Amino acid sequence: MDRIRWGVLGTAKIAQKELLPAFSRAENATVTAIASRTKNQKAEEIAQHFDIEKVYDSYEALLDDEEIDAVYIPLPNNLHKEWVIKAAEKGKHILCEKPAALHAEEMAEMQTACEKHNVQFVEAFMYRFHPQHERVKEIIDSGEIGKVRFMRASFSFLLESKTGSIKMNPQGGGSIYDVGCYGIHATRNILRMEPESVFVQGIMDTKHHVDTAATGIMTFPDHVQAVFDASFSMARRAEYEVIGEKGRVVVPRAFRPDWFEGQGIVDIETESGTRRETIVADQYKAEVEYASKRVLENGGKGDMHFRDAINNLRVITACLKSLRENKTIQLN
């Protein structure tokens, strides 16, 4: 087998706009089935557009298809745990949209199921598959900007219609779960440390009971600090910067370089001058190929990236607690 046969649970916009086209570009993957909760025209239209062979009128029916090796799950956050576990029980490998669960305890249950049934699991933080971030780590490790002291990460956009949006669902919605999770993950990823404490303030939507904007301060070992902000009510930004004792690195297209045809930018500013490095890659295609390669090469064995997902969720939970209680939350 040189291509993993994938099924898609649901007709979410991210599947239609980003992942299904990425599956089409991938060299080791193909989508053979899509399912909706009920038989509907949208699923049929998507299948026709992307040349998908099978359309199921339930997620269970797709999971029962023995010709499907793996599933992509773009469902609302509060449904991830249920369908990851059901997919694992059917022996399907899994690519699940971020955040993969609502809290670390859910993630631990999902890990148990995946390990029991020997299936691969990848959380779909697609940004990390763009090589610009490894380049940032190389610059930090070279000592060019000196010892890192501070990092800032921002992800925002204007949510024009809140009514009916899953982003406003009190079970797994809100700006921290939706886009703040990127800033939290990127900070942990680039600094390669876990925060010791968080303090978050924000704006709560009193009708939907979710945060529509949040700003958080994270403290790390050795007096390193970081700030993230997330919002449904600001101009589109998806960026971070890392500041050291002798310079800084700015990544203005950190999370969505696909908005710019895959072109990532790394700006380096030090006492000796400034320069710009441009790095082009297809992060969604890379994500799909990575998940498929794990299945092809590992056959369900080995590290399934659960520790990273659990640690990120611990921070997200602490941030939400801090926002609700208006106090600093310590993390172990």
Residue 228 and residue 195: Cα distance in Å, rounded?
12
Q: How many angstroms separate the Cα of 151 from the Cα of each of 217, 228, 268?
A: 10, 8, 14
Please provide residue 65's backbone torsions phi and psi, each rounded to the nearest 5 degrees.
-75, 110
**Six-digit token string for 269:** 């500013």
**Which residue has tokens 């610009």?**
132
The pair of three-digit structure tokens given for residue 96, joined into one six-digit string? 């699940």
Alpha-carbon gap, residue 126 to 289, rounded angstroms: 11
Confidence check: pLDDT of 301 > 50: no
Q: What is the spatial distance between Cα 180 and Cα 160, in angstroms, rounded to a whole number?
A: 18
Q: How far apart are CA 296 and CA 76, in angstroms?
A: 28
Whole-model pTM: value is 0.96
pLDDT (tens digit per residue) in 75-119: 999 999 999 999 999 999 999 999 999 999 999 999 999 999 999
Backbone φ and ψ for 64, nearest 5 degrees, come out as -80, -10
pLDDT in tens, 3-60: 999 999 999 999 999 999 999 999 999 999 999 987 678 999 999 999 999 999 999 9
**pLDDT score of 40:** 74
